[in-house]
Amino acid sequence: MKKSSLLGIFLVAVILTACNPEAARKTNDDMGIIPEATVKSVIDQLTEKFGESRHDLIQRGVSQVAALWKTEDGTTEEFETFCLEQYQGDEAARKILFEKLSANYELLWGHMNQMSLELNKPLHLDVGPITPVDVMFGSYSPYAHLADDFFGNKIAFLTILNFPFYKLEEKAEMGPNWSRQNWAYARMGDVYTSRVPSAINQEASRISTESDNYISEYNIIMGKLVNDAGQTMFPENMRLITHWGLRDEIKSQYGNPDGLQQQEMIYQVMGRIIAQDIPERVINNPEVSWNPYSNEVFMDGQKVEATPEPDTRYQYLLNNFHAAKEADPFSPNYPTAIERAFNAGLELTQQEVENLFVELVSSPLAKEVGALISQRLGRPLQPFDIWYDGFKARSTISEEELNAIVGRKYPSREAFENDLPNIMVKLGWSRDRANAIASKIVVEGSRGAGHAWGAQMRSQNSHLRTRIGQDGMDYKGYNIAVHEFGHNVEQTITLHDVDYYLMSGVPNTAFTEALAFIFQVRDLDLLGISSGNPAEHHLRALDNFWGSYEIMGVSLVDMAVWQWMYENPNATAAQLKEQTIEIAIDVWNKYFAPVFGVEDSPILAIYSHMISYPLYLSAYPLGHLIEFQIEGKLEGMNVGSETDRMFTAGKLIPQEWMKLAVGSPISSQPMLDAVEEALKHIR
C-alpha cells in the first residue's frame, strides 16, 4: 500500500478535516465578498491590456481569486489593484513565475514531507512501544498552516490568478490538445482549489493519525486462538494485523492440505471484528486465550469475563466522516468528500468508477470462475474464498518452505535493501539504471502491514516499510516488500524523470498500485522459483479477475457507506455499524451469493482501509484493471524500459495517461476477455 502522499493530499485540498461547525460556517460566509461588477471590470481591463486571446484565462483567474477572497485579504479596491498589478499577461513572464513557484513549492513540500516522515517514525516503524507523546507529534501536520499563510501573504492568490483551476470535465475536453507545459500550468492550478482554515487541517491530521494508529496496533495473537476442544491451530508467536495479516493467512492456507479449519477460524475472527462483539481484552494481548466460535476468553485455563469492543472501529470511521464533512463549505469546486476523493483525487467520477466495478462483479464469468475454484478445492465455496489464492504459482509451495527460502535470502533489513538493484535488473532494467533508482530508496521495518512513503523533493529518498522479524523476513513480509518496492520505483521515476515538478507523480493512486501489483505478481520469479506451468498466463488472468472481483465488492461497500453517512450525518457509531453490515450483506447477496451459494455474509466490511484510509479503496480495483492492461502491453516487451516510458508521462488525467501508455482508456473488458479465454484452456 502506498502511503498517501502529503503533496497529493495538499493538492486535492485536504479531504480529511474537522473543526467547530459554527466557526466553519462563519468563516465560509466571509468568502467571495467581491462584487460581480468589480470582477467584470477587472476582467475587462486585463482583456483590453493583454488581448482577447487571453480572455478565458483572465476570466478564470480573476473569478477564482474573487471566490476565495475574504474581508481580511483587503478591500474591493485592493482586490482590483492586486489583480491588475500581479497578472502576468506576457507569456515569458508567466513562465518565469511558474518556474519560481515550482522551485519553491518543491522546497516547501519536500521539507514538510520529510518532517512528517520523521515525526511519524515511532508510529510507523517497529522501534518500541508507542507513547502518548509519539501520537501527539505524529498527529502534527507541518502543512496545516501553509494554505492560511499563503493566502495571507497573497502567494496563493498570485498562483490562482496566473494559473487557474480546471475541473475534471474541462481537463478531459481540453487536455488532448494541451502541450506538456499547458498540463504543468493546469497542475499548478490544482494547488489552491479551496480555503480550509489551518485549525481544520491540523485537527484532520490528528484524526487521521489516531485512526491509523488504531489499525496499526490492532493485532490478533493467533497462537492464543482455541477451538471448542481447546486446541490451538497457529504458531504460538504468530501475531497478525487486521485485516491484512488475517487475509494473507487465509491465502497462505490454500497451500496447506489441512488448512480449511484455520481458514474457518480466521473467518470467525473477522466476523467478530465486523460485529464488534470481539472481546476488547483479546486485541493485541498475549496474556489471554480466545475461542472465536463461542466468544469465550480464558486466562490460565479459566474462563474470565470480557466485554466487547465498544464500536470503536465504527467510531473511527465516523470521526473521519465528520472531519471530511466539515471541509465541505470551504471546497466550492467539489463540495463533498466523495467528489473530492473521486473527481479531484482519482480524477474519475464516482459514477464512472462504480460502472466499471459493477460491469465486472455482475459478469456471468464470476460464476464460472467460482465453479472452477470449487472444483479445485473439492468442496463448496465459503465466503472467505473471496481470497482464494490457488491460481498463483506459489499455491503449490508451503508457507513454511517459502518462509525458509526468504529468511535465508533476507535475514535483515540491510540484506533486502542491498538486493534492490538486483531485483530491478531481473525485471529488465540496466545495471546502471537499477543502481540509480535503488540508491534513492531506504528499507525500514514496519510496525503495521507495510507501506511506501515517497519523497517530495529530488534531494530526498523514498522509504519502503515492511514487517521484518528478529529472524529476518518471512514470505508475507517479502511479498509486501516487493509490492511496496513497485511503489517506490514509481515514486522515484515520476519525481526525477518527469519534465515538470508539478507533473511529478501519477494520475491517481490506482496507477502506482498497478505498478506495485506488477512487481508483486513476479515475487517468486525474483526468488528464482518457477512454476513450470504452461498455463501460467491463463492462471494469472484468473487470479487477477478473482482479486478484482473481491476488492471491487469491498469498494462498492465503501462508496455506499459514505453515501449513507452523508444522508445520515447525525448517525451514531452503533447505527453506522448496523448500516455498514447491512450494506455489506446487500452487496454480497447481489453480486457474490449467486456465485458462492451462501447468503448474508458481512465479510466485505472487514477491510481496515475503510477505517484509516477513507475512500481510498477504489484505487485497488482500479489498479488491478490498469495493471491488467499494462501487462498486456508488456507482453514480449522489456519491463524496465516500458515502465520508464509509461511512468515518465507523469500526472496526466487517467484516461489520457492510459491512451499514451497502452492505447486505450481504463476498461474491464480486456480482463473479461482474457478470463473467458483462460476458462477454455484451464477446463
Residue 20 counted as domain residue: yes
d(CA 578, CA 584): 10
Do residues 517 and 562 both lie within one domain? no
d(CA 259, CA 249): 10
DSSP string, 564-604: HHHH-TT--HHHHHHHHHHHHHHHHHHHTHHHHS-----GG
User: Mean pLDDT in each 10-residue stretch from start to end of the chain (683 residues)?
Assistant: 45 34 45 94 98 97 96 96 97 97 97 95 90 90 85 97 96 96 98 84 83 92 96 94 94 92 98 98 96 96 94 96 90 91 95 97 98 97 96 72 94 96 97 98 89 95 91 91 96 98 95 93 89 80 95 98 98 98 98 98 96 90 93 92 97 96 95 95 83
Do residues 173 and 234 both lie within one domain? no
Residue 200 counted as domain residue: no
Kindly report the number of other CB atoms within 10 A of residue 375's CB atom: 10
Domain end, chosen from 499, 526, 553, is at 526
Residue 17 counted as domain residue: yes
Query: What total of structural domains would you count in the chain?
Result: 4
Alpha-helical regions (H) of 253-398: 260-275, 312-326, 337-339, 350-361, 365-377
Do residues 177 and 43 both lie within one domain? yes
Domain end, chosen from 526, 553, 584, is at 526
Residue 500 near residue 610, CB atoms below 8 Å: no
Do residues 459 and 514 both lie within one domain? yes
Residue 360 counted as domain residue: yes
d(CA 500, CA 483): 27
Residue 136 counted as domain residue: no
Do residues 476 and 380 both lie within one domain? no
AA letter at 272: R
Residue owning grid cell 497578472: 87
Do residues 387 and 402 both lie within one domain? no
Do residues 521 and 451 both lie within one domain? yes
Do residues 358 and 292 both lie within one domain? no
Per-residue confidence (pLDDT) for residue 463, from 0 to 100: 97
Per-residue confidence (pLDDT) for residue 536, from 0 to 100: 83
Per-residue confidence (pLDDT) for residue 199, from 0 to 100: 79
Do residues 264 and 366 both lie within one domain? no
Residue 507 counted as domain residue: yes
AA letter at 617: L
Residue 625 counted as domain residue: no
Do residues 487 and 413 both lie within one domain? yes
Phi, psi angle pair for 219, to nearest 5°:
-115, 145
Do residues 559 and 660 both lie within one domain? yes
Domain end, chosen from 507, 526, 545, is at 526
Per-residue confidence (pLDDT) for residue 2, from 0 to 100: 57
Range of the domain at 34: 6-122+145-192
Per-residue confidence (pLDDT) for residue 396, from 0 to 100: 65
Q: Is the peptide bond before 624 cis (omega within 30 degrees of 0)?
A: no
Grid cell at residue 189: 492550478
List own/partner pairs for 379-383 with CB under 8 A and 24 or more apart: 379/260, 380/597, 381/595, 381/596, 381/597, 381/598, 382/263, 382/264, 382/267, 382/596, 382/598, 383/267, 383/588, 383/592, 383/596, 383/598, 383/601, 383/603
Per-residue confidence (pLDDT) for residue 485, from 0 to 100: 97
Residue 377 counted as domain residue: yes
Do residues 502 and 473 both lie within one domain? yes
